[in-house]
Amino acid sequence: MKSLFKGSLGLGLLMLFVFPANGNAQFLKKLGKRAEKAAERTIERRVEKETSEKTDQALDSILEPGKKGKQAPPNTPTPPNQTGGQQGNMGNNPSNQGGPGGANTSGPKTIQVYSKFDFVPGDKQIFFDDFGNDFIGDFPSKWNTNAGGEVVTLGDSPQKWLELKSGYNIYYIPDVPELPEEYTIEFDVTGLGLERASSTAHVRVDLSDDGNFKEGANFVQAHIPLCQYTPVGITIENRINNKRLVRSTVKADIRNEILDKAHISIAVNKQRFRLWVNETKYIDVPRLVPTGTVLHTLKFHANNFRDGKEKVFITNLKVAEGGVDLRRKLISEGKVSTNAILFDSGSANLQPQSMGVIRQISQVLQQESGMNLKIVGHTDADGSDENNLALSQKRAEAVKNALVSVYGISADRLTTEGKGESEPIADNNSPDGKAQNRRVEFIKQ
């Protein structure tokens, strides 16, 4: 009897959608008032669902032109656990190009991708922090804030990150000495749970004349977008003596980069301000920065994302004085030393972001056809002397191979040598000192 009732009810509902309008009207009259209202609600829900699906498709065609059908949302990793770690497939090892957003469907980037990358980091490091000496769950010791934040790890990777809190007047200020006239800034940024983040969600990099928790009367700001459902673009703004002179947004679709650990590079050469995301330069404004050393403080600010649901992290902050043309120095002095050529931890795998320096060296060799170079690798003191000596030799050879394979320099003009940890230029007991000791020298022969 019960199954017969179910069958009759199912047949009645089927007839409701199959019969023409007149048949539906007669059928509804035969139902009681309560049944009629229930059926009407069912129809309304179905119409609402179909309308919503059509609306979503229309929005997709506007926000994601060129894509057909409903798009699957980006991978949503599990949130950090109570110990500051991360569960799930979230590796952030530099050798894992997939990064925290899951597998990189476009494939890992190679050094050839960065062959035209023209960012050259400063040659005198004044600040570095990868949070290596901080405990998980603590606020980092070399930073200040007026809110909160903590050091975490993501997945199985040992790399530590600072999780930023969102808010209109929340600032994160690293203990960077007063900024000079010419310098570079580098850091990595990534996010989790950003699929529905507001179009105004961003991480902001501030160069300010205020050393505390305010914008200041003079500043330069770069807004790195976190939004995933549409390409928002990168906004830059300045203010000189409380007067805004520049505010503009440059087209930039960096959504995949943000999920996949984006490397941000900034170069300030007096008034000129440039910004790269990975290998692509998006900003190059010749007169954005006030003259002199007015903007002496570096700050970070995150805003317009839901705290606890949408998360943003930064790490590997490096500030270095200089960033000037190494080509002239190599020609005039016959020797340059740089810690801007980076390798994966404990290996000779060349990180693609290092190609800006190698590109400049190749240009010198192409111009000075009679010049030969010795490439000398140095390491920090982590590990044994024997391993570091071998590693430094392999790293020097990796730089040589890039010059030969990417830029076409004859291998006969290049020799290599590894010196391991034997010639430190800074204290090996701090992350800052270790980063300075990990360097490559180019010596004219």
- 99-120 pLDDT, tens digit per residue, is 333 333 344 556 666 767 778 8
Q: Which of 387, 384, 400, 314 is CA-nearest to residue 350?
A: 400
Task: Return d(Cα 358, Cα 120) in angstroms, integer.
Answer: 9
Q: What average pLDDT does this structure show over 196-218? A: 95
Q: Are 150 and 144 in contact (CB under 8 A)?
A: no
- Would you place residue 254 in the very low, low, confident or very high pLDDT band (cuts 50, 70, 90)? very high
Q: Which of 362, 363, 208 is CA-nearest to residue 295?
A: 208
Q: What average pLDDT does this structure show over 363-389? A: 94
Q: State the pLDDT at residue 168.
A: 84
pLDDT in tens, 50-103: 444 444 444 344 333 444 443 443 444 444 443 333 333 223 333 333 333 333
The ranges assigned to domains in the chain are 2-63, 99-321, 326-444
According to the per-residue pLDDT averaged within each range, which of 68-72, 307-311, 362-366 is highest? 362-366
Residue 25, burial from CB neighbour count under 10 angstroms (0-12, 13-18, 19+): exposed
Task: Return d(Cα 125, Cα 427) in angstroms, integer.
Answer: 13
The answer, yes or no, to whether residue 8 has pLDDT greater than 70, is no
Task: Return d(Cα 74, Cα 191) in angstroms, integer.
Answer: 12
Task: Return d(Cα 255, Cα 232) in angstroms, integer.
Answer: 9
CA atoms within 13 A on the CB side of 26: 5
Higher per-residue confidence, 338 vs 173: 173
Residues sharing a CB contact under 8 Å with residue 299, sequence separation 6 or more, in sequence order? 171, 172, 173, 205, 206, 207, 208
- Domain at 326-444: CATH code: 3.30.1330.60
- pTM for this predicted structure: 0.64
pLDDT in tens, 12-50: 544 444 444 454 455 444 445 545 554 555 454 454 444
- Triad 96, 98, 99: Cα angle to 5°: 80
Higher per-residue confidence, 114 vs 430: 430
- Domain at 99-321: CATH code: 2.60.120.200
Q: 40-44 long-range contacts, Cβ below 8 Å, gap at least 24?
A: 42/13, 43/16
Task: Return d(Cα 135, Cα 311) in angstroms, integer.
Answer: 19
Tokens standing for 68? Answer: 């057909």
Q: State the pLDDT at residue 174.
A: 98
Q: What average pLDDT does this structure show over 150-166? A: 94
Q: State the pLDDT at residue 117.
A: 78
